[in-house]
Amino acid sequence: MDLSKNMENAINKQIQAESYSAYLYLAMAAYCDSVSMPGYAHWLREQCEEELEHAMKFYHYVVERGGRVVLEAIQQPPVEFGSLLGLAEEVYAHEQKVTSLIHALYDVAVAEKDYASQVFLQWYIKEQVEEEDHARTIVEQFKMAGGHPNILFMLDRQLGARE
């Protein structure tokens, strides 16, 4: 069974959202590099690559289901993020937003009685639980660091160890 036009349009919007997420995390990485936090910059570049992988999974899914991928413009991300804690909070808020987008996409799949898409989206639902948990943990760690340089240095090294 081919992908419905409604589901196709919704997934195309999600491809745009995943692509923006990658672009946002790359902008955040650039900010971290500019404030001498190479470890956090590395972590965010890894996030960027992961979001691009998510977009491509959606891309291939649309093609496999007989749909057409239509790419939309990606908004320019911010350049400044204030503090490292503020940036971490923005990452967490963004992951919560992505979770709501995935849930809305799942709602479309349910309304369309598109069982294949419901199964496909289960992976993203589980992934978002992990993404929110990681982002929330980093926020808490920056709060505990309280701006202390030695603790920030250690936290940056820990974030830089991500593979």
Give CA–CA dist 43/114, Å, rounded: 35
Q: Kindly state the percentage of the chain with pLDDT values over 70.
A: 100
pLDDT-derived band at 147, boundaries 50, 70, 90: confident
pLDDT-derived band at 73, boundaries 50, 70, 90: very high
Assess whether pLDDT exceeds 90 at residue 150.
no
Say which CATH topology domain 5-160 has: Ferritin (1.20.1260)
Give CA–CA dist 15/21, Å, rounded: 10
Q: Looking at residue 38, what is its pLDDT?
A: 95
For 95, residues 6+ apart whose C-beta sits below 8 A from its C-beta are: 128, 131, 132, 135
Instruction: Please tell me the pTM assigned to this model.
Output: 0.94
Assess whether pLDDT exceeds 80 at residue 7.
yes
Q: Looking at residue 58, what is its pLDDT?
A: 98
DSSP assignment of 25-81 equals HHHHHHHHHHTT-HHHHHHHHHHHHHHHHHHHHHHHHHHHTT--------PPPPS--
Instruction: With beta carbons less than 8 A apart as the criterion, state whether 98 and 21 touch.
Output: yes
For the stretch 45-57, pLDDT in tens is 999 999 999 999 9
Q: Kindly state the percentage of the chain with pLDDT values over 90.
A: 88
Q: Locate the domains of the chain by residue range.
A: 5-160
- Indicate the SS3 state at residue 161: coil
| Mean pLDDT for the stretch of residues 78-104 | 96
| Mean pLDDT for the stretch of residues 38-43 | 95
Q: Looking at residue 143, what is its pLDDT?
A: 93
DSSP assignment of 100-148 equals HHHHHHHHHHHHTT-HHHHHHHHHHHHHHHHHHHHHHHHHHHHHHHTT-
CB atoms within 10 A of CB 73: 8
Assess whether pLDDT exceeds 90 at residue 148.
no
